[in-house]
Amino acid sequence: MASNEQTPVLEVKGLQTSFFTPDGEVKAVDGVDFSVNSNETLGIVGESGSGKSITSLSVMRLIQHPGKIVGGTIELSGEDLLKKSKQQFAKYRGNRLSMIFQEPMTSLNPVFTVGSQIAEAVRIHKKLDKKAAWQEAVNMLKLVGIPAPEDRAKRYPHELSGGMRQRVMIAIALSCDPELLIADEPTTALDVTIQAQILELIKELQEKSGMAVLMITHDLGVIAETADKVVVMYAGEVVEQADVKTLFKQPLHPYTQGLMNAIPRHDIDLDELEMIPGTVPTPQNMPSGCRFAERCPYARDLCVEKHPELATPSNNVDEAVTTGQTRCWIYTDEWDGPNPTKGVATNQ
Amino acid sequence: MHIFILRRLLQLIPVLFGVTLVAFLIIQLVPGDVAQVMAGEAASQAQLDQMRENLGLNDPLIVQYGRFLGDLVMFDLGESVRTGQPVMDIIAPRFIITVELALWGMVVAVSVGLFFGILSATYRNTIRDYGTMTLAVVGLSMPNFWLGLLLIYWFSIQLGVLPTSGWGTWQQVIMPAITMGTAGAAVIARMTRSSMLEVIDQDYVRTARAKGVSERLVVYKHAFRNALIPVVTVIGLQFGYFLSGAVLTENVFAINGLGRLVVDAISQRDFPVVQGAVIVLAITFVFVNFLVDIAYRVLNKRIDLN
Amino acid sequence: MTTPLFEAKNLQKYFPVKGGILNRTQAQVKAVDDVSFAINPGETLSIVGESGCGKSTTGRAILRLDDPTDGEILFEGQNLMELSKSDLRQKRKEMQIIFQDPYASLNPRQKVKQILDEAMAIQGVVSKAKRPERIRELMEVVGLRPEQAERYPFQFSGGQRQRIGIARALSVDPKLIVCDEAVSALDVSTQAQVLNLLKKLQKDLDLTYLFISHDLGVVRHISDRVIVMYLGKIVEIADKKDLFDSPRHPYTRALLSAIPIPDPSKSRERIVLQGDVPSPMNPPAGCRFHTRCPFATDICKTEEPELRSTTFMNETHKAACHHIEKIAETEKTSIV
């Protein structure tokens, strides 16, 4: 594909973010790589404790004390964001890259009108005067599909519904035409019919502006509907990475497979949900081998002893699905014997 | 908003009733006889009876209270039993001085308290935070008359730059204001700190950062505006304490405020003056609370004004 | 016909809205408005809907955790509305509830065994001597190790805490369990564990569930019959298969079409509803859904539709819509 040659809008390499607690260092994100091109949506999926939200906050450099980015690079169109001073980076934040959050109910400041909260972003980055910025805020509200935008701009957040507030958040995020939008569980707190509206809106705005979108979610349904490429995270690491069709057709990592078979579906009947036994390991007791080994039905001594790398599968896999990468011994040459996951059908 | 103010005003009525009733009853209950005080030690029983009759002290309590309220509405607080002057005339100039003193104390308490509270919160768990909070504990625990005496010792006696007593010139304001305001500043600083810390982790503060708002504006605009909401209540309460606590400061600096007046009146058993002062202070307190309530609603957009 | 274990008739729950200078009741939030349904022994009946539709309020009202404003609630034929508080407490051992956040409902200072012991002691279902044995049994039933009963709630993960919530509900041997968003706070992998557990327990212990959830995937997995609520009203009720395969109410259809399917190869027509749910304080006249309904006509604005069935629907399948036939017709033509 030609897109391989263009500079990605966002390229994250070896990202490590830790929290320094009284009990010691907690590695919340431990060596994460991914990239997103313009006009493309990368989905990051994982359960709680996977490090997906910390990853997104790291990209925005919004990690607060006692957290700290301790390694790796984050490049926005080739510029290393971690090398910028605080003041330099403030010019990028909300301007070239911006973010929307999970909780629209609490993400807007309750004591300012929504119009002024949009206008603030515009004034900071576009250096417009008060009146022009307000006009721009009204335009943005219109763009995100809020009826009677002149009137709504003067409202306080508590006067709007959850769906409307998330639209306002999107308006703030997109007011300066960013190259990258990070959406961290943008619809998790919303009802399904409202979720459909918001996802549709993000897609529509992406088509207009060509921005890259980083969609962070725990919901594989949202991933399937919005993402072009997917990164699956588990216990602070990427365990699988593929384009969306390949991932859903042929998930490689046993965790990804388990996840897909654990979702109750509204479109088909399932006799029993597959269970992933146990729970995510806590950062304090992180296994030294494969982090999924203790929950994995196929784990061998090799898995418990040695930590696998994220790599293009070279063993036990069809030619057709070698576009992605996975972090599992089964797909390496060190695994002797057949693929034990073969014949494990996924839900479709 | 209008409905809210109106409703609050209506709620003031029973409170004011209660306040006046308590003030009225306190005087009835304290040992000591007004008639005796007015008529003097040497008065005969007949003179005393006559005096009681004239003062209406023989009427049932409820009648006396009714008369008391009627007078109160006309701003008539009776006459001093010592000098015969109307109580209102005695209290008014003293009250103004005390209010001035309390206001200057507030200026110190609010400016110092907010400054150190924010400082402490923004540098949480650093040496600046610990230093400030230690100072706050000291400020809170130090009796203010003692602080007043220390200030007099340093600035008036040792350095000789400020007058030891009196009220009126700006030099005379400085030390009493610091004396009054220190404990309040400590309370406000601690409240501001905890309120700021609560707010600084809120999602909307993160949103402000994500927009590219500078850290200074994040703290002073986005966080502080929200953190202020509970602090306003504390500030209002402080003002009430200042009015009632002015007596110590007034005595240390020999300021002729309401507090000293009350102390003098009590020792002279001049009950109408005591009563009048209590009522004036109580009504001021209630009124300040009313203003604080309104300020709270104005700041806090989330509360449904109805 | 089986006799239902539980029946709600014309259930209403209104919340007063106060205001004005004298703080009088100025309006009513009609959270649940004239809702009737029955639950048969051994089945799982689900209530789905979006926030504010009244599903959780219904769940609380039928247990009289919040007293209903009006209506009848019959448990094994007995009207619970007529029971005194103490008789009702007795009845509670037959009907238990599991909440979304078990942590909030577990006393943090009690060990799990104390929590379970207390639940049994209150209802007096198991003699004191037999309780330790019963606690061990309960722990095993919900898939925890008996020795974990010595721990405190905070020492468990979210999924394990939900198991404790289930154990507590089971401790008094109930017939009916109301599951109020019981798996909503859990990650998919743990959610699957708890859902499978609930299914197994139902089979083993002959339980009846009223399952309240906003997640239609979960509902399809666990239910026998499904109720869809919108703004305090039932808009559709049907056997699971009918509801998911041939939804009749336009709201149900929109709801189903709005859920993302975890399969990118499946594409389908999505009905995106415009706007937000109106305020339950002032619900639209006529059909409450007409403000967002693509099929609405004049009659929908004035006349409230009854729950009804038609010739091409199973008789257990009912929808509250004036235009069931017309919508079915357009569907046929669009497929051809």
Q: Under a CB-based contact definition with an 8 Å cutoff, are residues A149 and A64 in contact?
A: no
Quote the DSSP letter at residue A40: -
> Any CB–CB contact under 8 A between C188 and chain A?
yes
Q: Which residues of C touch A264 (CB under 8 A)?
A: 191-192, 195, 215, 217-218, 220-222
Quote the DSSP letter at residue C77: T
Q: State the average pLDDT over residues B207-216.
A: 91
Residue predicted with more confidence, C334 or A73: A73
Asked which of A2-6, A191-195, C112-116 is least confident by mean pLDDT, the reply is A2-6
Give which of C17, C21, C23, C25 to mutate to test B binding, by max B Cβ within 10 Å: C21
Q: Residue C264 and residue A224: Cβ atoms within 8 Å?
A: yes
> Any CB–CB contact under 8 A between C256 and chain A?
yes
Residues B76, B69: Cα–Cα separation, whole Å: 9
Do C118 and C199 fall into the same domain?
A: yes
Nearest to C255 by CA among C57, C97, C46, C14: C46
pLDDT band at B165 (very low <50, low <70, confident <90, very high): confident
- pLDDT tens column, A3-52: 456 789 999 999 999 999 888 888 999 999 999 999 999 999 998 889 99
Do C14 and C122 fall into the same domain?
A: yes
Q: What contacts B302, CB < 8 A, 6 or more positions away? A: A110, A156, A158
* Residues listed for chain B: 306
- The whole-number pLDDT of residue A348 equals 43
Smallest Cα distance from B282 to chain C, Å: 25
- The whole-number pLDDT of residue A292 equals 95
Q: State the average pLDDT over residues B146-154.
A: 91
- Strand A237-243 and strand A325-326: pairing? antiparallel
Q: Residue C259 and residue A277: Cβ atoms within 8 Å?
A: no
Q: What percent of chain A has pLDDT over 90?
A: 70
- pLDDT tens column, A93-135: 999 999 999 888 899 999 999 999 999 999 999 989 999 999 9
Report whether CATH 1.10.540.10 matches the domain B88-299. no
| Tally of structural domains, chain C | 2
In a domain, C73, yes or no: yes
Give which of B1, B7, B303, B305 to mutate to test C binding, by max C Cβ within 10 Å: B7
Q: What percent of chain B has pLDDT over 90?
A: 34
Count of CB atoms situated within 10 Å of the CB of B170:
8
> Any CB–CB contact under 8 A between A263 and chain C?
yes
Chains that touch C (3 or more CB pairs under 8 A): A, B
- pLDDT tens column, C141-180: 888 888 899 999 888 888 888 899 999 999 988 999 999 9
Do C188 and C261 fall into the same domain?
A: no
Residue of A nearest to B225 (CA): A111
Q: How far is CA B157 from CA A323, B148, C314, in A?
A: 86, 13, 100
Q: Residue B301 and residue A111: Cβ atoms within 8 Å?
A: yes
Residue of B nearest to C26 (CA): B306
Helix axes B87-122, B224-252, angle to 10 degrees: 130
Smallest Cα distance from B215 to chain A, Å: 9
Angle at C110 between CA C105 and CA C111, to 5 degrees: 110
Do C52 and C106 fall into the same domain?
A: yes
Q: Residue B302 and residue A158: Cβ atoms within 8 Å?
A: yes
Q: Which residues of A touch C266 (CB under 8 A)?
A: 267, 348
In a domain, C108, yes or no: yes
Q: State the average pLDDT over residues B209-231.
A: 91
Q: Which residues of A touch B226 (CB under 8 A)?
A: 109-111
Residue A184: enclosing H or E segment and its boundaries? strand A180-184
Nearest to A11 by CA among A64, A82, A91: A82
**Could you tell me the two tokens for C141?**
């039933």
Residue B306 has pLDDT above 70, yes or no: no
- The whole-number pLDDT of residue B193 equals 95
Chains that touch A (3 or more CB pairs under 8 A): B, C
Quote the DSSP letter at residue A311: B
Phi, psi of C126 (to 5 degrees): -125, 135
Q: State the average pLDDT over residues B172-189.
A: 92
In a domain, C233, yes or no: no
Residue A347 has pLDDT above 50, yes or no: no
Burial B199-219, CB ≥16 within 10 A → b, else e: bbebbbbbbbbbbbbeeeebb
Q: Residue A120 and residue B211: Cβ atoms within 8 Å?
A: yes
Mean pLDDT of chain B: 87
Residue A344 has pLDDT above 60, yes or no: no
- The whole-number pLDDT of residue A173 equals 94
- The whole-number pLDDT of residue A1 equals 41
**B209, B211, B299 ranked by CB distance to A111: nearest:** B299
Mean pLDDT of chain C: 89
Measured torsion, CA atoms of residues B210, B216, B218, B221, in degrees rounded to the nearest 10? -150
Which of A199-208, A320-329, B166-175, B269-278 is the most confident on average? A199-208
Residue A161 has pLDDT above 50, yes or no: yes
Do C218 and C164 fall into the same domain?
A: yes
Q: How far is CA B131 from CA A115, A151, A199, B119, in A?
A: 40, 48, 50, 11
Domain of C110, in residue numbers: 6-223
Residue C26 has pLDDT above 80, yes or no: no
Query: Strands across the sheet with A67-76, in order?
Result: A24-36, A10-21, A67-76, A79-80
pLDDT band at A2 (very low <50, low <70, confident <90, very high): very low
Smallest Cα distance from A165 to chain C, Å: 12
Do C163 and C209 fall into the same domain?
A: yes
- The whole-number pLDDT of residue B266 equals 87
Residue of B nearest to A172 (CA): B211
DSSP conformation letters of A22-38: TTEEEEEEEEEEEEE-T
Do C179 and C271 fall into the same domain?
A: no
Do C64 and C190 fall into the same domain?
A: yes
User: DSSP alpha helices (H): ranges in chain C?
Assistant: 55-62, 85-91, 102-105, 112-123, 131-141, 158-170, 188-205, 216-222, 240-245, 250-258, 298-302, 324-335
Reported for A17-25, long-range contacts at CB under 8 A and 24+ positions apart, including other chains, are A17/A51, A17/A54, A17/A55, A17/A58, A17/A63, A17/A67, A17/A68, A17/A69, A17/A70, A18/A67, A18/A68, A18/A70, A19/A66, A19/A67, A19/A68, A20/A66, A20/A67, A20/A68, A21/A66, A23/A284, A24/A284
Nearest to C93 by CA among C203, C9, C170, C18: C170
- pLDDT tens column, B248-267: 899 899 899 998 998 898 88
- pLDDT tens column, C284-319: 999 999 999 999 999 999 999 999 999 899 999 999
Residue B145 has pLDDT above 50, yes or no: yes
Quote the DSSP letter at residue A322: T
Question: Which domains does chain A possess?
Answer: 10-232 (3.40.50.300), 260-331 (no CATH)
> Any CB–CB contact under 8 A between B225 and chain A?
yes
- pLDDT tens column, B39-71: 777 778 888 788 777 777 777 888 888 888 888
Q: Residue A111 and residue B213: Cβ atoms within 8 Å?
A: no
Q: Residue B3 and residue C23: Cβ atoms within 8 Å?
A: no
pLDDT band at A321 (very low <50, low <70, confident <90, very high): low
> Any CB–CB contact under 8 A between A259 and chain C?
yes
- Partners of residue A42 on adjacent β-strands: A214, A229
3-state secondary structure chain B: CHHHHHHHHHHHHHHHHHHHHHHHHHHHHCCCCHHHHHHCCCCCHHHHHHHHHHHCCCCCHHHHHHHHHHHHHCCCCCECCCCCCEHHHHHHHHHHHHHHHHHHHHHHHHHHHHHHHHHHHHCCCCHHHHHHHHHHHHHHHCCHHHHHHHHHHHHHHHCCCCCCCCCCCHHHHHHHHHHHHHHHHHHHHHHHHHHHHHHHCCHHHHHHHHHCCCHHHHHHHHHHHHHHHHHHHHHHHHHHHHHHHHHHHHHHCCCCCHHHHHHHHHHCCCHHHHHHHHHHHHHHHHHHHHHHHHHHHHHCCCCCCC
Residue C100: give its domain's CATH number: 3.40.50.300
- pLDDT tens column, B123-138: 888 899 999 999 999 9
Q: Residue B211 and residue A94: Cβ atoms within 8 Å?
A: yes
pLDDT band at B224 (very low <50, low <70, confident <90, very high): very high
* Residue C150: alpha-carbon gap to chain centroid: 32
In a domain, C335, yes or no: no
Count of CB atoms situated within 10 Å of the CB of A166:
31
pLDDT band at C336 (very low <50, low <70, confident <90, very high): very low
Residue A57 has pLDDT above 70, yes or no: yes
**A60, A109, A158 ranked by CB distance to B222: nearest:** A109
Do C39 and C173 fall into the same domain?
A: yes
- The whole-number pLDDT of residue B303 equals 59
Do C123 and C268 fall into the same domain?
A: no
Q: What percent of chain C has pLDDT over 70?
A: 96
Q: Under a CB-based contact definition with an 8 Å cutoff, are residues B260 and B247 in contact?
A: yes
In a domain, C300, yes or no: yes
Rounded to a whole number of angstroms, the distance between the first and last alpha carbons of chain C is: 39
- pLDDT tens column, C51-99: 889 999 999 999 998 899 999 999 998 999 998 888 888 888 899 999 8
Residue range(s) in chain B whose domain bears CATH number 1.10.3720.10? 88-299
Query: Strands across the sheet with C70-75, in order?
Result: C24-39, C6-19, C70-75, C78-79
**C51, C259, C270 ranked by CB distance to A221: nearest:** C259
Q: State the average pLDDT over residues A282-290.
A: 86
DSSP conformation letters of C231-289: TTEEEEEEEHHHHHHS--SHHHHHHHHHSPPS-TT------PPPS-PPPTTSPPSSSTT
Q: Residue B207 and residue A90: Cβ atoms within 8 Å?
A: no
SS3 C211: strand
pLDDT band at A337 (very low <50, low <70, confident <90, very high): confident
- pLDDT tens column, C115-133: 999 988 888 878 888 899 9
Q: Residue A273 and residue C221: Cβ atoms within 8 Å?
A: yes
Smallest Cα distance from B178 to chain C, Å: 42
Q: What contacts B24, CB < 8 A, 6 or more positions away? A: B64, B65, B68, B275
Smallest Cα distance from A4 to chain B, Å: 30
- Strand A67-76 and strand C176-180: pairing? unpaired
